[in-house]
Amino acid sequence: MKHLLFLLLLTLAITPCAHTQSAIPNPKSAIPNILWFVVDDMSPHFSCYGETTIATPNIDRLAAEGTRFTRAYVTAPVCSTCRSALITGLYQTTIGAHHHRSGRGDLKIHLPEGVTPVPALFQKAGYFTCIGSGLPGKDHAGQDLASRKNKKGKSTQATLGKTDYNFEWDPAIYDSPDWADHGDKPFFMQVQLHGGKLREGPMEKRAAYRQRVIATFGNATDPEKVTLPPYYPRDPVLLQDWADYLDAVRLTDHHVGQVIARLEKENLLENTLIIFMTDHGISHARGKQFLYNEGTHVPFIVRGPGIAKGTVRDDLIEQIDMAPTSLAAAHLPIPPAIQGRNLFAKDYTPRTEVFAARDRCDETTENLRSIRTDRFLYIRNGHPQRPHLQPNAYKDAKPILIALRAAHTAGTLPSVSEDLLFSPTRAPEELYDTLQDPHQVTNLATNPTFKDTLEKHRQLLDAKLTATRDPAPETPAQYDSDMAEYLKKKDPIVEANIALMKKWAAEGK
């Protein structure tokens, strides 16, 4: 009876709007479950995306049994801003959630009228909404919850998975950390995985992590077999970190395989739409927090009822497309405010461009905007008088940044590393031919041959900023409100960085 009532309510909720049409040919009586894999800090280093140093059989399986997108990009290269966008289907700049870990102080951020987090839409339609690890008894790192202790020495219990939204929201939009109690309701599940963060921490934690890798796979990735982007030196610290990162990719693939096995065991797999993606690229000097491929290019795979198997799509997409694609798959209306697109709509029109923005990350203020077309990436630097690697306590504490800064001080870095990572200023505009220059090394913005291309992309970005209502700079009051939370840590490095940000702002730098 409950199931019939749910179907009746769902049918009444559907509106005959073209924006809601889906190419997924399920009858409306076959209501699918929706499951998202959202992984921290990971680029498309999977076998199905061309990675050869490691094997990722479970992600490869999703790709073989579904549709793999080769040119998926996030609209923000850092956790909270990306997640704020993907959970609403709107650009983080449009909803005022574009500063990392913002709205945590006295000055709160509220979603604009008409904008509702996707879990709330599913819940209202009768779905059981959940967010966790996808494996009962396991945390987001794939570790046993029973082995973890809280500050009082008691075993940690399952809690809701990572959200990290930069706006006020009601935790009641999630019914549970897991779908186990979904009963006769379909479920909307977000599986949140630690991803690239698995390799992080002090030396003893990293050593234990490597032992876990060996215990799981029988071996760890050999640092000497790692291929680094051309702007990173083959420093032992960087090579080991990249090897550890690739092992984090393997552990992520292993966790995904366990979730898939669970779905199969519970006879849920064939009626579950699965989307696998990451919240931005690898955490590195030119990756996370930045708008180059290393920071914004992500894997994006869709598998489930009605999805073509073994298909590869090369059109440009954004992570905000997850929301409308999922709603359409569930035969639910897509709110008119949503800026993402249903990737499988019958009337789907491929994007000709994708947009990304980076603003303040923790205490470090920034203003970067980009537009990417089929061939070119255009980036506009709002603070060209500042260095690429501005002081940032979070990133500067990483061994890779410590090693890079030490090599810079010693004068042992190759010229490409010096130019791209440690120039005291930046070009106000950057233009890259991403087909000829996949690592974005050669800036063409001042090359006369590309004058018309530069002007075209300037205009495209200006139009995008207008259309998406790009916000004014963060006010000093909002900055101080959020920094009050950081100052509670009494970290002298953070305090010094905040003072420097205010000094540079006063100087117009």
3-state SS, 140-182, equals CCCCEHHHCECCCCCECCCCCCCCCCCCCCCHHHCCECCHHHC
Determine the pLDDT at residue 321.
98
Each residue of 37-66: b (16+ CB within 10 Å) or e? bbbbbbbbbbbbbebeebebebbbbbbebb
Residue with tokens 């870990």: 101
Determine the pLDDT at residue 12.
34
Rounded CA-CA distance 110/169 in Å is: 8
Rounded CA-CA distance 401/55 in Å is: 28
Determine the pLDDT at residue 179.
98
Rounded CA-CA distance 161/484 in Å is: 26
Rounded CA-CA distance 182/16 in Å is: 29
Determine the pLDDT at residue 349.
94
Rounded CA-CA distance 53/283 in Å is: 19
Q: Give the number of other CB atoms < 10 A from CB of residue 204.
A: 8
Identify whether the C-beta of residue 509 lies closer than 8 Å to the C-beta of residue 385: yes
Burial (CB < 10 A; 0-12, 13-18, 19+), residue 172, is exposed
The first and second tokens of residue 395, run together, are 């990133």
CA 318 to chain CA centroid, Å, is 10
Rounded CA-CA distance 58/254 in Å is: 7
The first and second tokens of residue 410, run together, are 């010693």
Determine the pLDDT at residue 25.
40
Determine the pLDDT at residue 150.
55
Determine the pLDDT at residue 106.
97
Question: Three-state SS for 311?
Answer: strand
**Residue 435 neighbours by CB under 8 Å, 6+ apart:** 375
Own/partner pairs, 440-448, CB within 8 angstroms, 24+ separation: 440/292, 440/293, 440/377, 441/230, 441/231, 441/416
Identify whether the C-beta of residue 281 lies closer than 8 Å to the C-beta of residue 290: no
What residue ranges define each of the domains in the chain, with the CATH number in brackets? 2-15+32-147+157-344 (3.40.720.10)
pLDDT in tens, the chain (509 residues): 334 333 333 333 333 333 433 344 444 448 999 999 999 999 999 999 999 999 999 999 999 999 999 999 999 999 999 999 999 999 999 999 999 999 999 999 999 999 999 999 999 999 999 999 999 999 999 999 876 655 555 545 678 999 999 999 999 999 999 999 999 999 999 999 999 999 999 999 999 999 999 999 999 999 999 999 999 999 999 999 999 999 999 999 999 999 999 999 999 999 999 999 999 999 999 999 999 999 999 999 999 999 999 999 999 999 999 999 999 999 999 999 999 999 999 999 999 999 999 999 999 999 999 999 999 999 999 999 999 999 999 999 999 999 999 999 999 999 999 999 999 999 999 999 999 999 999 999 999 999 999 999 999 999 999 999 999 999 999 999 999 999 999 999 999 999 999 999 999 99
Report strand pairing: 354-358 vs 67-73.
unpaired
Cα dihedral across residues 176, 179, 182, 187: positive or negative: positive
Own/partner pairs, 110-116, CB within 8 angstroms, 24+ separation: 110/167, 110/168, 111/167, 111/168, 111/169, 112/337, 114/335, 114/336, 114/337, 115/88, 115/90, 115/335, 115/337, 116/88, 116/335
